[in-house]
Amino acid sequence: MQYTRLGRTGLKVSRLCLGTMNFGPQTSEEDSFKIMDHALELGINFWDTADVYGWKKGEGITERIIGRYFAQGGNRREKVVIATKVYGDMGDPSEGLGDWPNTNRLSALHIRQACEASLKRLQTDYLDLYQMHHIYRDSPWEEVWQAFEILVQQGKVIYTGSSNFAGWHIAKANEAAKSRHFLGLVSEQSLYNLNARTVELEVIPACEDYGLGLIPWSPLGGGLLGGILQKPSEGRRAGMDIEAQRPKLEKWEALCADLGEKPADVALAWLLRNPVVTAPIIGPRTNEQLDGSLRATEITLSEETLKKLDEIFPPVGKGGKAPEAYAW
């Protein structure tokens, strides 16, 4: 496994990040344990989750599964850089908190309570990377950073990151952190793949300038870039309108065939070639899928291939950063 630094930090993480969103809803606990064991065997030390994963309000099902996995011992917890998130509504109806007002978003109160709850579910004393799952405009950065500073001082959080932030949110957050002599954001988790390139305008330049590692979610476009024309049943399950995108998907899959590579591997390799990208999040449902993802770290795409990919999946505007992507 290849490793890289997470943004401007000295923390070393694997070039692929194990996404755990399927643990619980789609992957049984037994199979989830097998996938986590195998990830460690392969050297994948960077794992991503969220308090809301499991999709039963307030229950934190996925975090609980990971916590029970860590509790088996064998230095499982110590080997993993665990990243989780705060923002979503965690008001547990069974505890009378279903409609209570401070069980979500980024108030200092909710950040504190959500962190304590995640620590308990994950059965750990600290979170390696605690990410804000979305921007919350009603909480000033003075409030947000005060809450995170306390968690860092208490040893409960080591690094902080963002997810789904705009470029100007990253700038504003880190300028506010700088004024407090606080490390601030070290990573941003964004939607980014060949078919969704909006972040190239301002988010990626902001990450580059402020030293944030980019962690792409949905690197295969929800399966669209994974050879979907050969697996039409998956498209139906995901509710994709494959026909509307068939012309470019045919070109995409033909190009991958010419390269002698699987579409999913090429899609991941395209992300990995970007120096701002730390690790795409992969969400395997089986160990076979996990093994298959490793090929992406070995693929080098030629300039000719990159040009063809731009023709199939054009960047926004003229390509590159804003404002040049749309202005003179």
In this predicted structure, the answer to whether residue 96 has a pLDDT above a threshold of 80 is: no
At 237 the pLDDT is 56
In this predicted structure, the answer to whether residue 175 has a pLDDT above a threshold of 80 is: yes
Q: What is the pTM of this model?
A: 0.95
In this predicted structure, the answer to whether residue 224 has a pLDDT above a threshold of 90 is: yes
> Which of these CATH numbers, 3.20.20.70, 3.20.20.80, 3.40.605.10, 3.20.20.100, describes 3-312?
3.20.20.100
At 99 the pLDDT is 76
Contact between 203 and 188 under an 8 Å Cβ cutoff? The reply is: yes
Mean pLDDT over the full length of the chain: 95
Distance CA 207, CA 215 (A): 11
Supply the DSSP string of 285-303, one letter for each residue: SSHHHHHHHGGGGG----H
* pLDDT per position as a tens digit, 130-141: 999 999 999 999
Kindly give, in sequence order, each residue whose CB lies less than 8 Å from that of residue 289, ignoring residues fewer than 6 positions away: 282
Looking at 145-154, 237-246, 262-271, which range is the least confident one? 237-246
At 294 the pLDDT is 96
Distance CA 185, CA 240 (A): 34
Mean pLDDT of 296-322: 96
User: What is the H or E stretch that residue 163 is in?
Assistant: strand 157-163
Which residue has 């992969």 as its token pair?
282
Domain spans of the chain?
3-312
The residues assigned a catalytic role are 53
What percentage of the chain reaches a pLDDT higher than 90?
88
Confidence at 91, pLDDT banded by 50, 70, 90 = confident
